[in-house]
Amino acid sequence: MISAISYKEGHELYMQRCLQLALLGEYYVAPNPMVGAVLVYHDQARGDVVVGEGWHHRFGQAHAEVNCIMDAERRNRIIESEDAFYRNCTLYINLEPCSHYGKTPPCAELIIKKHISHVVVGMLDPNPLVAGKGVRMLQQSGVDVQVGVLEAQCRFLNRRFVCLHEKNRPYVILKWAQTLDGYIDVQRSYDDDCVPLVISNMQTKQMVHKMRAENMAIMVGTNTVLLDNPKLTTTRWSGRNPIRVTLDRHHVLDKTYHIFSDQAETIVYDDDTTFPHILNDLALRKVHSILVEGGTKLLNHIISTGLYDEVHVEVGNMNLITPHKPNLYGVKAPLFPQMLQYKMTVEGNKLYELIR
């Protein structure tokens, strides 16, 4: 029994710790899910004791369960044959242990080998290669398994991974910044010297780079590449650069643009440039998320398809059209049909969001 706190509260406490640990791999494990694991020893004299913790650090490396068990053996100097120790343990993990051979051996087999008697799982793995097979493998070997502790939180943490496997498309996040009077930029052409409108401040720019690091891909339209020549990297945040995605239906982009640098992979769609086709192709490439930072035309097209999961809008503390600039022409912000929820104010700019 779990001492000092109820059985249910104990499960939720340790599962919450799994979620905290899982986040430590946030910027490096994609397209794998973020996973954390906690091993709890049931001591009759001391009550429950956390004897091991682990998380999935990086794609292709050891999974959370392996790191947790290795941590327990380092901490407690466990000899591999000491089955009695593990028989008195419960392993908590926010995602079902894998049951197939991939870049690493199945974690379910390791749990069985160690004779861990109880496993508490946050959610089943939506990946068809697992999808309940890991739990069945454990149960068939006599392991007591409980599934569904803090399931909603577990699904939200790995919503990108879940979207890829349940909807067969990447998780889509739309992001733009606009003025108080609803413009995202001034009217510019490719052959003038007009500078882009700056709406974001230093802190919100850093927050955008954090979003880039959280997602596997980033997308802009042809005009954004031609006018702004962006790098689309994460220079203001640690983490991997996202895959850069753009359109070039009329073949106007050459290799001199920053988007073709060797800092990250770039995918150009020049035949079928419809968003459903792009999402289908990215899913085949195992890209589980895409951040769209495009202009109004691209964003309006995506909004019209309904194929998006989150919207983030930054509203700057300024108007583009003023009595001092009555003849200035601006680019209208995307037309979004739903009410966004206020999130916070950062250095005078208000941030709004919608998570579907």
Instruction: Indicate which residues carry an active-site annotation.
Output: 65
CA dist 131 → 23, 165, 167, 267 (Å):
22, 10, 15, 31
> Alpha-carbon distance 318 to 322, whole Å?
10
Contact 134, 98 (CB under 8 A): yes
**Residue 181: which residues within 8 A CB-CB, separation 6 or more?**
319, 320, 321
Nearest partner of 40 among 99, 93, 112, 78, judged by Cα: 93
208 close to 345: Cβ distance less than 8 angstroms: no
State both tokens at 277: 């086709």
User: Is residue 53 classed as helix, strand or coil in its secondary structure?
Assistant: strand
Name the burial class of residue 118, with classes exposed (0-12), middle (13-18) and buried (19+) by CB atoms within 10 angstroms of its CB: middle
Q: Are 240 and 263 in contact (CB under 8 A)?
A: no
**DSSP-based three-state secondary structure for 65:** helix
Token pair for 161: 């991974």
One-letter amino acid at 48 equals D
Query: Quick one: tokens of 140?
Result: 């068939």
